[in-house]
Amino acid sequence: MPNLFILFVLFIGLFAGKRLGIPFGILFGFCLDIFINKKIGISAIMLGLIGAMGGILDKNFSKDSKMTIILMTIGITFIYETGIYFLNNLVISSTIEIIPFSKILAIEILYNVIITIILYPLVQKAGHYIEDIFKERQILTRYF
């Protein structure tokens, strides 16, 4: 099952920066925790981290390359799902099963990559619009 919250928070972090990526990640994480999870705060922590990582990746990589966005999606999905799995196991004190988790992780990454490929043109247009609104452009005001 694709996790659209991961993709949405990643794209907010990429196009709007850390200042909006972290609060949106925490807000969406609390919503996920309230409606789906039993433990409040785990998804909020991980999605807030993803929002921060999106802001960091914005400065280091190009958002115009579809392959770069796909690689970011793979990495971010891996980090999110691994973090959620280990934090839940830490809180619940259950055993860690690597093989079933690896299968679920591979399917989740595949779904998120497919959704990213399908929605990339729409997200890129909306992202550049958001970027123009929320990011400050440093313009040299003096004439030479």
Residues 86-143 pLDDT 10s: 888 887 777 778 898 999 999 999 999 999 999 988 888 888 888 777 766 655 555 5
Give the model's pLDDT for residue 93.
75
Alpha-carbon span 109 to 115, nearest angstrom = 10
Compute how many other C-beta atoms are within 10 angstroms of the C-beta atom of residue 21: 28
When pLDDT is cut at 50, 70 and 90, the band that residue 76 belongs to is very high
Give the model's pLDDT for residue 1.
61
Give the model's pLDDT for residue 140.
53
Percent of all residues in the chain with a pLDDT value above 90, rounded to a whole number? 35
Distances in whole angstroms, Cα of residue 90 to Cα of each of 63, 93, 137: 35, 5, 43
Residues 10-63 pLDDT 10s: 998 888 888 888 999 999 999 988 888 777 888 899 999 999 998 888 888 877
